[in-house]
Amino acid sequence: MYSHIPQNKSKNISRREMLKNSAALSAAVIAGTALPGHLLASDKTSSGKVVRNSRIRQVIVSWTYMYFGENWSLDQLCQAAVDLGVEGIELVGPDEWPTMKRYGLICGMSTNGMPDPPYEKGLNNPLYSGEVIQRTKKRIEECAEAGVKNVITFTGYENRDLNNPALGVIPPDEGAENTVKGLKELALHAEKHGVTVCLEHLNSRVHGDDFRGHPGYQGDDIDYCADIIRRVGSSHIKLLFDIYHVQIMNGDIISRIREYGTDLIGHIHTAGVPGRVELDVKQELYYPPIMEALLEIGYEGYVGQEFIPTRNPMEGLREAVALCDV
C-alpha cells in the first residue's frame, strides 16, 4: 500500500481519482526526465551531496563530461565529484592524479597508457599486443606507487592490420587465445604489484563516430569476455562490466551479474540505453535493482557514471548518482 494514501480512505478512491492521478504521473514522465517519486520527494537531486547510503561506491568517468556537454576541465569535474559526494574520477592517467588528490578524490580506473583510441589496438592481435603489454606493465607500476587499484585493457579490433583491412580479420577463437596469453603475462605483474587489470566489453552494433558503439571490436560478446577471464584464472584479472554495452549486445543484465559474481566482475560502467544518455525515464534501463543485484553478489568495486550528457551535465549526474545510491 502506498504510504501517501490514508488507511481509512484507500478503499474508497474512485475510478475518476485514480485516472486523474495516473494522468498526472504520465504527464510528468512525458514532460521530460522525471525520476521516481521517492527521489523527487527528497533533495538528493536539487542541492547538497547526493550520496548518502554509500553502499555503491560511485565514481565519474572523465571523458564523457570533459569532451561532451559543457566540456568541463579536470578541476570542474573534480569539483562536481566533491559536490555530488562520489569517491573519485576514472579513466585518467598519472598526469591527472595530483589534481584529483588535491580534491581528496581517488582514481577508480586508470588508462593503460596506449595512445587514443586505446580500444583499437589490443591483446587479441600479435601486431599490437607487445606494445599493449609493455605500456600496461608500466602503468601497473605507476598505479601501485600511487595507490590506484585498477587498470583498463581491451581485446582490440578484429582486423589483422588496422591500416590494411584487406588482410582480413582475426577469428574469435584465435583472438581469445591471444588475449588469454597476454592477460596471463599481465596477471603476473598485476599480482606482484597489487593492481587489478579489467578487460572491457564494448558493443559493435551501434554505428557512428561518437563513441556510442565500436563496430569491429572483437570482445563484443560479454560471455566471450567472461570466458577469457575464467581461462586466465587470476584474481587480478577481472571483467569491466559496462551495463550500457551489455544491454545492447546481450541483455539479461541482472541475470549475468548474478551468474558472473565477484569472481569475474571487477568494475562497472553505466549509461542509458539507447543512446548512451542520462539514466532517466527516456531510456529502457532502471538502475536501482541493478545496483541491488551488485550488492546481492557482494560487489565492493566501483561503479563509474559514463553517460554522454544531452542536457545540463550536473543535473544528469545528480539524477544518476541518486538512482545508483541504493
Chain position carrying cell 566471450: 224
- Please say whether the beta carbons of 261 and 300 come within 8 A: no
Give, in order, the Cα–Cα distances in Å from 324 to each of 72, 184, 293.
23, 33, 11
Q: Which of 87, 142, 200, 319 is catalytic?
A: 200
Euclidean distance between CA atoms 12 and 2, whole angstroms = 14
Q: In angstroms, what CA-CA distances link 176 with 6, 111, 229, 235, 256?
A: 59, 22, 10, 19, 20
List the strands of the sheet with 237-242, edge to edge.
Answer: 106-107, 88-90, 57-61, 302-305, 265-270, 237-242, 196-200, 150-154
8 A C-beta contact, residue 234 and residue 261: no
Distance CA 253, CA 265 (A): 12
Beta bridge partners of 238: 198
268 has which bridge partners? Answer: 241, 303
Residue closest to 95 by CA, chosen among 62, 123, 132, 130: 62
Catalytic residue among 87, 278, 306, 319: 306
306 assigned to active site = yes
Q: In which element (H, E) is residue 66 found?
A: helix 63-66
200 among known catalytic residues: yes
Instruction: List residues with catalytic annotation.
Output: 200, 306
